[in-house]
Amino acid sequence: MLRVFLRRLLLSIPTLFGVLVVVFLLLYVAPGDPVMAMVGERADPETIARLRAELRLDDPMLAQFGHYAGGVLRGDLGRSYITGRPILGDLLERFPKTLQLAGAAMLLAAICGITLGVLAARRPGGWVDRLSLGVAYLGISFPVYWIGLILILVFAVQLRWLPPSGFGRPANLVLPALALGMRSIAFLARMTRSAMLEALGADFTRTAKAKGVQERLIVVRHALRNALIPVITVLGLDFGAYLTGSILTETIFSWPGLGRYVVNAIARRDLPGVQGAVLFMSVVFVLVNLITDLAYAKADPRVRLG
């Protein structure tokens, strides 16, 4: 497993280098002058020239890229144009909050989705199967911002069971985790159902039934164990998406994570903040995918990763 880990880690280096290049080019693709965004239009030419020299904006592009890449390798993602604070410190401060939201969404998706899939596979065509199909259609069809607004309207405004936004209490986590994980619940329910039906019709399951093994043990120990192998991949990819793509959810529910940091940086034209956040989330996504590949290989010994 260590050799597989090191090999996959080396294969991730070109991907991360490509992300580094794209993130650096954001400074040139974005409209406007970052210095003017910092000091305003009424600043004197001396101040503008001094800031451009401090930010190395007058250097050649390759020199700027070398300086930026060297700082990234040292763990320096630069400083915010707006607050003047180190960007990495701001990201590390907000990342645990996004991790908390992503973990809650993944746990909710795994419990609800796998449970619905198993129950639907045990009685194909039954009411649970039809319910899981309806949940799948709804979860996949509706965008996350629409689901979030509906959840706020129903459970916060009408029923007054849960707070509509905020951070700090366990109740604040329920609605954003449900909104973020709804699509995964739908997808996992249908995937688990298909994998369970295939496993329940396999030779090893029929052999266990012929030996007189109880149906509950067949479902849990034999069919479910084999059906979870493809589910692991989906959970890993979704978890990476939760960590890096929760911008809408955090904005709707005022969750102080990485997503809101990116939105605020874009709104305030803080280009180093956007660059640092995108690069940080890309590294996180690559690491989550790496861990997912290792978990998949551990769960299925037949898998050989190149």
Is a pLDDT exceeding 60 seen at residue 134? yes
Decide: helix, strand or coil at residue 253: coil
- The yes-or-no verdict on residue 167 having pLDDT over 80 is yes
| Exposure class string for 192-224: b at 16+ Cβ within 10 A, else e | bbebbbebbeeeebeebeeeeeeeeebbeebbb
The mean pLDDT of 254-275, rounded to a whole number, is 85
Across 27-41, 69-83, 98-112, 279-293, the highest mean pLDDT is recorded for 98-112
- Predicted local distance difference test score (pLDDT) of residue 33: 65
pLDDT tier at 97, thresholds 50, 70, 90: very high
Residues of the chain with pLDDT > 90: what percent?
6
- What is the reported pLDDT for 37? 64
Please tell me the distance from the alpha carbon of residue 240 to that of residue 106, in angstroms, as a whole number.
10
Select the more confidently predicted residue: 124 or 204. 124
Say which amino acid occupies 58. D
Of residues 143 and 91, more confidence is placed in 91
Tell me how far apart the alpha carbons of residues 29 and 47 are, in angstroms, rounded to a whole number: 24
Residue 273 has pLDDT above 60, yes or no: yes
What is the sign, positive or negative, of the torsion defined by CA atoms of 262, 264, 266, 269? negative
Q: What are phi and psi of 133, to 5 degrees?
A: -65, -40
pLDDT at 107 over 60: yes
Flag whether pLDDT at 304 surpasses 60.
no
Instruction: Give the global pTM.
Output: 0.80
- Look at residue 90 and tell me whether its pLDDT is greater than 60: yes
Q: If you average pLDDT over each of 25-29, 192-196, 200-204, which comes out highest?
A: 192-196
Work out the end-to-end distance of the chain between its first and last CA atoms, rounded to an integer number of angstroms: 12
